[in-house]
């Protein structure tokens, strides 16, 4: 064995284990091998999480992982002495985690056991030793751990030679920080962080243009950061938003070798085992990933989204620098007048981490499929989940045309209406929407509109959805005063004493009047909301981030529907949808179970109000007898009133429930009869109580 590897300078050996008996045989073999070369031995164990880290069970798993690290360190010292090191990693993909650890620790030789290598089928399904041997870029030795302890494992060793050398380490943060500072200084961006708020719009536009140019020069990561920021008018002035929206990602396409290497690392097998062919020319090339057409062995035509091999490392590196920057200079008053650095960093970090995990995009597609289930002219591509990972996404190829080229006809008209209505449903009903519906992400195929690219989605909570529902209804009814009230409720500024509410309402009314007199094809609710957002910012009451993203998406989709059907009235679509939704909610509220539940809640709340009144007037027993004596009549009256109110409400609910159930064909006959009897008894009781109280 030594002769076979004597040409290599072996300084670091790594061995994987799951602490089973067979895996520990590989550890002992690796310890002997490292000893012969006087090399360091790294024993690595991958713990596969079963629960999210934020949950109680996830925290318990992390505690067990910490304990496993201590045990593994003790085991490593036992087998290799001071040269032994332990490394416990928590990851859902053991093979890929080990490969990454090899690169991070600059390992020369990796040793793994052959346990689980049980034929071609298991190999294709992701056998860990085979996946490691295929993807690791160092020498891999697979030892026969199934042999008895007394046998010589060296007789059953298979060596995998790397195709290339271990890639160099990423540049240090200091070098990258120096490069960023140099580019910023070249474009004169130090003015942005050093001077007070500039009132001249022309100067602000010039600064914004220099910022865009600098971000483009800094490369893919900063271009992506600028693109994300262009969706947040609540964080940046409008001049910067408009300029960043023009950002172009000057990203060279990935090489065929990189595309194949990432694909095979994620699939765990040679790409030929999965794909019949892959088009070498990219369909699209972005800052994080590249998309190629391909054909599966089954003959299905698909598109493959492959993450750039350096994307995660570059983004993590630049985010680390941005975090330091935010901590050091983010609290300077001059800078905070231009940008909220803490909010920017938080938003960028969460957005980019989501986009780096393609599994989240696959989940978004699945969720949107459910949201659009009621629309026969809208669809999303199917996802091949068994072939998709965090860095590889395989989807059905949408073999269509841009929606502007959709053939004229009833299908196109109906699709336009459904597209617009679906966004009201996505935002108001489901609280989950496609946040980037520009024309490039909407395709026409099989007489349907397909949504593409779910890397950017938005989510809104139930309270916010209620406010937005009221806001759209107020816009539909052209009620500027109520629009103002709802807007202030959304921003939490309803009780602001320093806010000039009449002026705020006047500006909102002017926006609504301007759009109401526009041509039908120009009557877009999205632009109205965008202008309202700008007014709110001027008055120091910025709208929530979720609303600004929803506004941008709604504006984009309404431009698309105007191209499909210029005669479509967005107010009419919104109004009819809102009315149907409100009626549906009222129908749900009239459900007998809901009525009974709400009546009981009302009874409890009424009693609590009565108790509060008793405490307020001192009707509860106390030390002063005169107070109790004088309050007794009032106390009796309050109790009597509460009792009669509860009887009356419950009787009314029973009557209504009896009437509703008697008309239902799916309810047994005894149910309405029972409700009727209960209603009669409660009514008799109420009458008796009234007569006795005279």
Q: Is the dihedral of CA 480, 484, 489, 491 positive or negative?
A: positive
Cβ within 8 Å of residue 645, ≥6 positions away: 606
Give every CB contact of residue 524 below 8 A, 6+ residues apart in sequence.
515, 555, 558, 559, 562, 570
Helices (H), 454-569: 462-476, 480-491, 501-516, 525-538, 545-564
CA 331, chain centre distance (Å): 28
Helices (H), 85-237: 94-104, 120-124, 128-135, 173-186, 190-194, 201-218, 220-229
Residue 578 CA to residue 366 CA, distance in Å, equals 25
Cα–Cα distance for residue pair 158/35, rounded to 1 Å: 19
Q: Which residue has the tokens 């009787």?
A: 651
Contact 50, 91 (CB under 8 A): no
Tokens, residue 359: 């599994």
The CA distances from residue 487 to 36, 466, 590, in Å, are: 74, 12, 30
Phi/psi for 50 (5° steps) reads -105, -20
Q: How far apart are CA 229 and CA 234, in angstroms?
A: 10
Phi and psi at 167, nearest 5°, equal: -65, 150
**Is 436 among the residues known to form the active site?**
yes
How far apart, in whole angstroms, are the C-alpha atoms of residue 628 and residue 611?
A: 15
Residues 574 and 556: their CA atoms lie apart, in Å, by 16
**Separation CA 214–CA 179 (nearest Å):** 11
Buried b (16+ CB within 10 A) or exposed e, 18-27: eeeebbbbbb
User: Looking up tokens 């109000």, which residue turns up?
Assistant: 609
Give the C-alpha distances (Å, rounded to integers) separating 623 from 617, 632, 639.
15, 14, 22
Query: Phi and psi at residue 400, in whole multiples of 5°?
Result: -115, -160
Are the C-beta atoms of 106 and 166 separated by less than 8 Å? yes
From the number of C-beta atoms within 10 Å of its C-beta (0-12, 13-18, 19+), residue 488 rates as buried
Closest-CA residue to 232 (of 613, 537, 475): 537
Report the alpha-carbon distance of residue 562 to residue 519 in Å, rounded: 12
Interatomic CA distance for residues 550 and 547, integer angstroms: 5
Q: Is 643 exposed, middle or buried (0-12, 13-18, 19+ CB in 10 A)?
A: middle
**Long-range pairs for 326-334 at CB < 8 Å and ≥24 separation?**
329/193, 332/193, 334/193, 334/194, 334/195, 334/196, 334/197
The catalytic position among 436, 479, 569, 591 is 436
Catalytic residues: 436
């Amino acid at each position: 064995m030594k002769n076979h590897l004597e040409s290599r300078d072996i300084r670091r050996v790594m061995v994987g284990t799951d602490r089973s008996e067979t895996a520990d045989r590989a550890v002992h073999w690796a310890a002997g091998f490292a000893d012969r070369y006087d090399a360091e031995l790294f024993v690595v164990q991958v713990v596969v999480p079963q629960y999210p880290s934020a949950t109680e069970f996830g925290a318990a798993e992390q505690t067990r992982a910490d304990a496993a690290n201590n045990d593994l360190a003790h085991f490593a010292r036992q087998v290799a002495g001071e040269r032994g090191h332990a490394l416990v990693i928590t990851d859902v993909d053991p093979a890929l985690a080990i490969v990454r650890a090899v690169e991070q620790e600059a390992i020369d030789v990796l040793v793994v056991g052959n346990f689980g290598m049980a034929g071609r089928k298991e190999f294709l399904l992701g056998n860990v030793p085979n996946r490691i041997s295929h993807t690791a870029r160092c020498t891999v030795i697979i030892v026969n751990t199934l042999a008895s302890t007394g046998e010589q494992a060296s007789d059953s060793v298979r060596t995998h030679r790397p195709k290339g050398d271990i890639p160099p380490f990423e540049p240090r943060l200091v070098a990258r920080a120096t490069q960023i500072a140099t580019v910023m200084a070249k474009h004169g961006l130090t003015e942005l962080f050093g001077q007070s708020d500039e009132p001249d719009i022309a100067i602000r536009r010039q600064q914004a243009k220099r910022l865009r140019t600098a971000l483009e020069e800094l490369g893919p990561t900063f271009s992506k950061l600028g693109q994300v920021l262009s969706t947040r008018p609540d964080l940046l002035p409008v001049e910067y938003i408009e300029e960043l929206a023009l950002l172009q990602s000057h990203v060279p396409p990935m090489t065929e070798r990189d595309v194949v290497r990432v694909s095979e690392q994620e699939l765990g097998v040679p790409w030929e085992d999965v794909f019949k062919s892959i088009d070498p020319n990219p369909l699209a090339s972005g800052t994080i990933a590249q998309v190629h057409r391909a054909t599966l062995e089954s003959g299905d035509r698909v598109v493959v989204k492959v993450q750039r091999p350096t994307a995660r490392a570059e983004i993590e590196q630049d985010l680390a620098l941005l975090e330091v920057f935010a901590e050091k200079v983010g609290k300077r008053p001059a800078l905070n007048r231009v940008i909220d650095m803490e909010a920017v960093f938080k938003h960028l970090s969460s957005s980019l981490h989501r986009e780096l995990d393609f599994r989240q995009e696959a989940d978004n597609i699945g969720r949107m499929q459910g949201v659009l289930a009621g629309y026969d002219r809208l669809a999303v591509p199917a996802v091949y989940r068994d072939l998709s990972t965090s860095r590889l996404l395989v989807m059905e190829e949408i073999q269509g045309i841009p929606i502007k080229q959709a053939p004229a006809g009833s299908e196109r008209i109906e699709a336009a209406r459904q597209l617009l209505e679906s966004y009201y449903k996505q935002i108001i009903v489901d609280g989950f929407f496609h946040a980037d519906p520009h024309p490039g992400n909407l395709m026409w195929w099989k007489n349907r509109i397909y949504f593409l690219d779910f890397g950017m989605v938005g989510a809104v909570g139930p309270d916010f959805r209620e406010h937005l529902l009221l806001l759209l209804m107020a816009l539909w009814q052209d009620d500027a005063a109520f629009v103002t009230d709802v807007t202030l409720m959304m921003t939490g500024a309803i009780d602001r004493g320093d806010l000039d509410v009449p002026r705020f309402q006047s500006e909102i009314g002017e926006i609504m009047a301007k759009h109401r007199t526009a041509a039908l094809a120009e009557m877009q609710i999205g632009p109205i909301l965008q202008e309202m957002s700008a007014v709110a910012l001027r008055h120091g009451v910025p709208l929530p981030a979720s609303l600004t993203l929803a506004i941008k998406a709604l504006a984009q989709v309404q431009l698309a529907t105007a191209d499909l059907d210029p005669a479509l009235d967005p107010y009419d679509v919104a109004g009819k949808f809102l009315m149907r939704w409100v009626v549906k909610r009222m129908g749900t509220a009239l459900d007998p179970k809901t009525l009974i539940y709400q009546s009981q809640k009302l009874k409890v709340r009424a009693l609590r109000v009565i108790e509060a009144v008793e405490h307020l007037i001192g009707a509860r027993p106390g030390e002063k007898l005169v107070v109790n004596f004088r309050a007794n009549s009032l106390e009796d009256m309050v109790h009597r009133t509460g009792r009669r109110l509860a009887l009356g409400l419950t009787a009314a609910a029973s009557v209504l429930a009896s009437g509703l159930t008697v008309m239902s064909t799916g309810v047994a006959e005894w149910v309405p009869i029972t409700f009727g009897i209960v209603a009669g008894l409660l009514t008799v009781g109420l009458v008796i109580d009234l007569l006795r109280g005279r």
